[in-house]
Amino acid sequence: MKRVSTLLIALALATSLWAQSPQKMSYQVVVRDVSNALVTNQKVGMQISILQGTASGTVVYTETQTPTTNANGLLSIEIGGGAGFDTIDWANDVYFIKTETDPTGGSSYTITGASQLLSVPYALHAKTADTITGAINETDPVYHASIASAITSDDTTSWNNKSEFDGDFASLYNSPNIANTTNLKTIQLNTNDTASSVSIKNDNGSSVFNVDGSGRMSGDGSGLSNVKPLINYIGGDQMYEITANYGSFNNVRSVTLSAPSNGVCFVMASGYASWQGEGWDVLLLGILCDQDPNNSWEAQDEWYKYLNILTDYNCTDATDQYASFSQHRCIPVSEGTHTFYLWANKYNASANVRVDDVNLSVMFFPTGGTGQAANAAMRIEEEPFSKKERVPNTVTGYK
C-alpha cells in the first residue's frame, strides 16, 4: 500500500478589492509510498472537503479529482471547481480542509488528513466588498507612548553611554572561558609598543604569567608549565670491553631523542673504567651526535675536541684498578630525531680496558625569542697551542 504525505506546501488565493476574486484555492501535496519513495508520474485519486467549525464538523463542500504526480512526486490542484464553493460564507465560522487520498488512482480513499484554513483563504470574503455604498464613519484610535515591557528608563539612558571593552573578561555577561584545554586562545602583542603587555593572574590576584611589549616574561612560573625540556635516558648494569685503539673507535652506549623544534641538547655520560692488567694505558671517551668517527675525519676531529682522558699511569698495578668519569656536552640540534653516542678507544692495543655501568642521558631545550642564539651562547674551548699530539706516544714526559 502506498501513502500520501499530507504536508501542505502551498495554499493561496489571489484577491483584489476592485476586481472579481477567483473562486478557487491552490493546493499541493507530495506523494510517497510506504517505503518513503516518491510516487512519480502516476494518477492519484483525491476527495477534498471543506468542514465548518471543527476538523470533524459539518461538510459544506466536497469535490473529487484524479490528478497526476510530476517527476518529483508533487500534486498541484485547484480547489473550488464544484457547485456550492462560491456560496461558502467564510466570515461566518472557522473552516477546515479535509483531504482523502487513494494512491491507486481510484475512489477507495485510505489516507485522510485535515487542517485548519488560516487567514489567506478568507480573502474570498473580499468579494462582498466589490462595491461600497453609503457614508463611511472613521474613528482614529488614540495611541499612548510607553516604555516596552522589561525595558526601564535606566536602560534607555545607557543606550547612548557606550564604552570600550576594558580587557577584563570577568566584566562581560556570560564571559568565555579563555584558559582551558579545549578553547585555545592566541593573543598577539603589538611588539612595536613597549607598553603593550599580557597579564594572567589567579583568582587570589597573584601573577601567574606576564609578557611585556619587548617579549620579556615574568610571573611565579606556573604559567610556564608548557615550556619544559624533553629527556631520554639509558643506563643500568653494563660491562663493555674496549677493543679499539688509536685510530679506531668503539660505540659504548647510545640514546635517541626526537626534537619537536630547533634547540639545544644537553648530553651527560657517567660511569667508571677498569684496568685488569699490568702496565700503563689511557682510555679516551667522547660524545657525538649522529656521527661515527670510524667513518668520518670530521667526526674524528670533533670527537677529539670533546674527549675525556682517563689513565692508570703512576697507579700501583693490581688485579683490578678503577677510575670513575663524568662528561657532558651541549649540542645544537634541528627539528627531528637524533642519536647521541659515547665513543671510546684505548691507547695500547694490548691493554685490558673495560667501561662499566655507563649512564647516558640527553635533555632537549627549545630555543627562540630575542635572546642569544644557541650557537653564540656556547663557548667552545680551543685546544692548547702547545699541544702537538692528541695522546702521548710514550710514557716519558706524561704528567
Which residue ranges form the domains of the chain, and what is each CATH number? 2-128 (2.60.40.380), 163-227 (no CATH), 231-377 (2.60.120.1340)
**pLDDT tens for the 399 residues of the chain, in order:** 444 444 333 333 333 333 345 678 888 888 877 778 888 898 888 899 999 888 888 898 999 988 998 988 888 888 888 888 888 888 888 889 888 887 777 777 777 778 888 754 555 555 555 555 556 666 666 555 555 666 777 777 666 666 666 666 666 666 656 555 566 666 665 556 666 677 777 777 777 777 776 666 665 544 444 445 678 888 888 899 999 988 899 999 999 999 888 889 999 999 999 887 777 788 999 999 999 999 999 999 999 999 898 887 766 666 567 888 999 999 999 989 999 999 999 888 888 889 999 999 999 987 754 444 445 545 555 555 555 555 555 555 544
Nine cell digits for residue 335: 627539528
Distance of CA 89 to the CA centre of its chain: 63
pLDDT of residue 345: 93
CA distances from 373 to 215, 263, 290, 305, 306 (A): 16, 10, 22, 22, 21
Strands 321-333, 336-346: pairing kind: unpaired
Contact 255, 361 (CB under 8 A): yes
